[in-house]
Amino acid sequence: MSAISVGQAAVLGVVEGLTEFLPVSSTGHLKITEGLMDIPVDDRSVVAFTAVIQVGAIAAVLVYFFKDIVRIASAWTRGLADREERYHHDYKFAWWVIYATLPIVAVGLAAKPLIEGPLASLWVVAGSLIVGSGVMWAADRMGRHKRGEDDTSFTDTMLVGCSQILALLFPGFSRSGATMSTALMLDLDRVAATRLSFFLGIPALTGAGVYELKDAVGAGVDTLPLVVGTAVSFAVAYASIAWLLRFVARHSFNAFVVYRIVIGLGLLGLLGTGVLNA
């Protein structure tokens, strides 16, 4: 029998959709929510479920950025046959995203026992939330915010792509937080940093969801909770993406820094008092 009910799946879908692309750690929030609902965070079916519902959030990115994705994919396709097209930034960017995804795939496969074992602890989540806040605060102030999306280079994309490994190994650090912070340190402006984070998340999170789908079925996760969680995740994530892009165009990341610290300290308190089990 599945460890997750339909109602719990809907709640987790909301949490996933709200937090996947905000730099606050969707994994951390999912684990906290699972703990509060007495769902075993280290259960194989639960780990698989949370990976699969990410596909709903990724689908929201695909829909929201459909025109951009078609433009980039078209340039890449044309470039495969036409040498002249290979000088186009969109053609090169498509390859950069592919290359930048390889490190996280390699680490994810090699470190899977650690990721699903000791590193899944809520103590790790709490510490990562707080440490990641410091990194984000420093990046937002160190970065000069002078480079736009068209100025993105191969080096930028690779460094930002590799930073996703931090979130993979330390749930709570946040994939979005790690990628945005790295991009800011490279002097990209906040909107360019956020959009680059979105594009790099498409192959990484889609691959993780598809890879875990077979485990979700094999681990006994019922189809209905998966469908509900994924559908809710899609709807909420779409709204979150639109809001985030408007927000970063006018504000710093200070609100996210403060929020992460509060959640991290609150989680430490809940763990320390025994309200939650790690």
pLDDT at 222: 78
Nearest CA to 256 among 17, 13, 18? Answer: 18
pTM of the model as a whole: 0.87
Would you list the domain boundaries of the chain?
6-272
- Torsion of the alpha carbons at 34, 37, 40 and 45, rounded to the nearest 10: -70
- Whose tokens are 């684990």? That residue is 31
* Per-residue pLDDT at 199: 93
Residue 147 phi/psi, 5-degree rounding, is -110, 135
Distances (CA, A) of 193 to 12, 57, 132, 182: 27, 19, 16, 8
* pLDDT of amino acid 218: 62
The per-residue pLDDT for 28 is: 80
Q: What is the mean pLDDT of each run of 10 residues along the chain (278 residues)?
A: 81 94 87 84 76 87 94 95 90 96 92 83 91 95 90 95 93 91 95 94 81 65 87 96 94 94 93 83
pLDDT of 1 reads: 45
**Residues in the chain, overall count:** 278
**Euclidean distance between CA atoms 45 and 212, whole angstroms:** 10
Q: Tell me which DSSP letter residue 188 carries.
A: B
At 207 the pLDDT is: 80
pLDDT tens digits, one per residue of 175-227: 999 999 999 999 999 999 999 999 998 888 888 777 766 666 666 667 898 89
User: What are the φ and ψ backbone dihedral angles of 79, each rounded to 5 degrees?
Assistant: -65, -25
Residue 32: both structure tokens together: 């906290």
